[in-house]
Amino acid sequence: MTTTVSAPEERMSPPDHSLSHRRRAARAALLTFLVWASGVVAGILFLTSSGSAPFGSLGAAISSVGILAGLVGTDFILVMLVLAARIPAIDATIGHDRAIAVHRKLGKPALYLLLGHGALLTIGYAIDQGVNPFVELANLWATPDVPLAIIAIGLLIAVVVTSLVAVRRRFSYEGWHLIHLLSYVAVAFALPHQLSLGGVLATGTVQRIYWITLYALAFGAIGIFRFIEPAVSSLRHRIRVSEVETISPGVVSIHLTGRDLRALGSHGGQFFVWRFWTGSTWWHSHPISLSSVSTETTARITVRDLGVGSRYISTIPVGTAVSLEGPYGLFTPSARTAPKLAIVAAGIGITPARALLEQSDLRPGEATVLLRASSTDDAYLWAEMADLAERKGARLYTMTGPRSITAPTWMTAADAQRGVSLRSVFPELLSSDLYVCGPTAWLDAIEADARAAGLPDHQLHSERFEW
């Protein structure tokens, strides 16, 4: 490990980041409460409106439990849509990564509840009518709106299965995203049978008002923040490619020009979802971080060739029109909670780290940066980081070389043998916010070391290049 820049420490009072952290933590707690409370409200509304009649017989009781499971499962699906809608208030509270993590955690419970809904209703109705469940299933298929609901369950199964990490990796981002759009179709297909069957959501009831409101919120958020706002923003800012600069083999910086770009409200470390309007790239959307802080008329992203989509955008011509969604993410100075700043970046993970450092208002000696690469060929933008560190008064270390094969670690084999650790690189780790960006397995290893060293989760900020 080498030190390329060193800045003297000055005895100055560090800024207090605790107030903004406490406010954001309170908002995050409220949001988490609302997510789970919505499912409870769905159940309570059903139970209080139905009284004891639905539990008067064995068949009715089983059917009622099935209805309850379906309502809570549908509630979770709609909450998932809200979390995936990229609502600015949610992104500013818990960040896009955490919102999607909660979205994914709700997926399996929601699917299990909806499968239980179908199975319990079939069994309950079969008991009441004195027929076997297979006959009752055929009867349900002949009931108006039920076939749509059954198709909706099939679509949700496809969405959940393709969201599993082992399965998701077999798809391109665009292929997976196309399948994921089926969740919208599934929810739309499920709505008619909710409104038409069983009188559960009868006209004029509080339940009906609640569910229509929740559907309107979910689809309204999707429509506004995933389609309308990005379209308006793209038309307003008129972004185009001004230069494609080769950084190293397989890595390019795409320079963009536009108007009034600061009105986008982006911060160093955030990402946008970009779409480049050429014949070979218009159908690809790319979540890519800014690699420098935007000005009024310019922005820059740096892209590594990691697949068909990124390979195409590395060859786009100057003048190409660009549309965007965002900005997203909390990998920014505003998420800080501690007096010191520690940054670790590897490979193309340097892009948000560089913009983060550029955006940060720092005192000399407040920040320490560690850049990691397997070889000098992977040292993207290191010269820019060195220049920024010098100007910001930050210490900068570099670590180049392969990892150990026998004892996997995030550092080089040579540094591991010498006893280098996260605490030796960052002596003030526990009083620092640690920002980490790089390959997933490498990032996981650093997170494990940081937690083992006693770093609280709220001081650990990660940007993962995965979907």
pLDDT digit string (tens) for 197-230? 656 666 777 888 888 889 899 999 999 999 999 9
pLDDT score of 134 more than 60 = yes
pLDDT score of 441 more than 90 = no
Q: Name the residue among 384, 324, 397, 319 with its Cα closest to residue 358.
A: 384
Return the H-helix or E-strand segment holding 298.
strand 298-304
pLDDT score, position 321? 97
pLDDT score, position 179? 74
Judging by DSSP bridges, how do beta strands 239-248 and 321-328 pair with one another?
antiparallel
Per-residue pLDDT of 346-355, as tens digits, reads 999 999 999 9
Lowest mean pLDDT, pick from 87-96, 125-134, 198-207, 225-234: 198-207
pLDDT score, position 2? 61
The burial class, CB within 10 Å (0-12 / 13-18 / 19+), for 444 is middle
pLDDT score, position 436? 96
Average pLDDT estimate for 411-436? 92
C-alpha distances in Å from residue 108, one per residue of 13, 162, 176, 244, 313: 48, 12, 17, 43, 35
pLDDT score, position 6? 45
pLDDT band at 51 (very low <50, low <70, confident <90, very high): low
d(CA 456, CA 450): 8
pLDDT band at 269 (very low <50, low <70, confident <90, very high): very high
pLDDT score, position 112? 92
Q: What percentage of the chain exceeds 70 in pLDDT?
A: 88
Average pLDDT estimate for 68-91? 90
Name the most confidently modeled range: 96-100, 282-286, 375-379. Answer: 375-379
pLDDT band at 10 (very low <50, low <70, confident <90, very high): very low
pLDDT score, position 231? 95
C-alpha distances in Å from residue 243, one per residue of 56, 160, 256, 447: 72, 40, 7, 36
Name the most confidently modeled range: 2-6, 106-110, 170-174. Answer: 106-110
Angle between helices 88-129 and 133-141 (to 10 degrees): 120
Angle between helices 146-163 and 173-180 (to 10 degrees): 150
Angle between helices 133-141 and 146-163 (to 10 degrees): 100
pLDDT band at 409 (very low <50, low <70, confident <90, very high): confident
pLDDT score, position 11? 40
The 8 Å CB, 24+ separation contacts for 458-461 are 458/21, 458/25, 458/337, 459/337, 459/338, 459/432, 459/433, 459/434, 460/433, 460/434, 460/436, 461/330, 461/331, 461/335, 461/433, 461/434, 461/435, 461/436
Average pLDDT estimate for 186-193? 82
Average pLDDT estimate for 322-347? 93
Which residue ranges form the domains of the chain, and what is each CATH number? 2-16+336-464 (3.40.50.80), 19-225 (1.20.120), 238-328 (2.40.30.10)
Per-residue pLDDT of 154-180, as tens digits, reads 888 887 777 766 556 666 666 666 777
Q: Order of strands across the sheet with 239-248? A: 286-289, 271-276, 321-328, 239-248, 251-257, 298-304
Q: How many residues comprise the chain?
A: 467
pLDDT score, position 169? 64
Measured in degrees and rounded to the nearest 5, phi and psi for residue 296 equal -65, -30
The token pair at 6 is 């060193």
First to last CA, the chain: 32
pLDDT score of 23 more than 50 = yes
pLDDT score of 368 more than 90 = yes
pLDDT score of 99 more than 50 = yes
Return the H-helix or E-strand segment holding 273.
strand 271-276
Q: What is the mean pLDDT of the chain?
A: 86
pLDDT band at 12 (very low <50, low <70, confident <90, very high): very low
Average pLDDT estimate for 357-379? 93
pLDDT score, position 174? 65
pLDDT score, position 310? 63
pLDDT score of 113 more than 80 = yes
